[in-house]
Amino acid sequence: MMEVVLPNDANPLGNILGGKVMHLIDMAGAIAAHRHSQSLVVTASVDSLDFLHPIRVGQLIVLRAKVTRAFRTSMEVEVRVYLEDYLTGDHRQTSSAFVTYVALGEDGQPKRVPPLLPRTAEEKRRYREALSRRRRRLALAARTHHRFFEAKK
């Protein structure tokens, strides 16, 4: 995905709003997940997001999304964000995130997704690493869930 950063996308400093970047990350990731699963998807989680460099009004925001692993009903998608200044030729990564999506069937319930078949050494490495990230996410969710219900007692 690619968009020109316009003044209505920016803060008073002329940099794209963080929320706009998060929205575009979710959109780009969802498109990759839709295409892989051939179904509707919902966002289940977003890993930490750091903003390394600002993207200014007039520059392009470029997003590249790729499914890194498919589980039973969910998929992890890596989204990398870049700035591109077509006047100076500057091109650099500004942020990245791993987003988890769940595929939904026509009944609105989670549905099985096709397996991902990594081919290159890089895809195989990312595929292996995705399982570690998933385990961390699930452990964090379980701890958060437990604390929430303990506090409600």
94-139 residue pLDDT tens: 999 999 999 999 999 999 999 999 999 999 999 999 999 999 888 8
Q: Where are the alpha helices (DSSP H) in the chain?
A: 18-37, 121-152
The pLDDT mean for the chain works out to: 93
Residue type, 81: V
Query: DSSP of 26-68, one letter per residue?
Result: HHHHHHHHHHHHTSEEEEEEE------S--BTTSEEEEEEEEE
85 in any annotated domain: yes
- Token digits for 75? 């998929």
91 in any annotated domain: yes
95 in any annotated domain: yes
Number of structural domains (the chain) is 1
Give me the CATH number covering residue 18.
Answer: 3.10.129.10
**3-52 pLDDT tens trace:** 999 999 999 999 999 999 999 999 999 999 999 999 999 999 999 898 99
> Any residues with CB less than 8 A from the CB of 145 and at least 6 apart, and which?
none
147 in any annotated domain: no
111 in any annotated domain: yes
150 pLDDT band (50/70/90 cuts)?
Answer: low
Report pLDDT for 116: 95
Helix (H, G, I), strand (E, B), or coil: what is residue 101? Answer: strand
130 in any annotated domain: no
Burial (Cβ within 10 Å: 0-12, 13-18, ≥19) of residue 129: middle
Report pLDDT for 117: 95
What domain range is 75 assigned to?
A: 2-116
101 in any annotated domain: yes
